Amino acid sequence: PTYAEMHPKGYKRNFNYRLETLQRGANAGMKRLGMGFLLGLAEWR
């Protein structure tokens, strides 16, 4: 399933907004930022 299929509505729908979160934090003056992601949650084939 694609991101759009899993999040068709609600606050998670806008993927670009979520992707740009670190940049917004840096622009707001946050000094230390980190990123985490989950791999292997679905079959890749």
pLDDT of residue 44 exceeding 80: no
- Number of independent structural domains in the chain: 1
Q: Whole domain around residue 25: which residue ranges?
A: 1-45
Buried b (16+ CB within 10 A) or exposed e, 20-43: eeeeeeeeeeeeeeeeeeeeeeee
What is the pTM assigned to this prediction? 0.61
Give residue 21's pLDDT band: very low, low, confident or very high (50, 70, 90).
Answer: very high
Q: In 3-state terms, the chain is what percent helix, strand and coil (to 5)?
A: 35, 0, 65
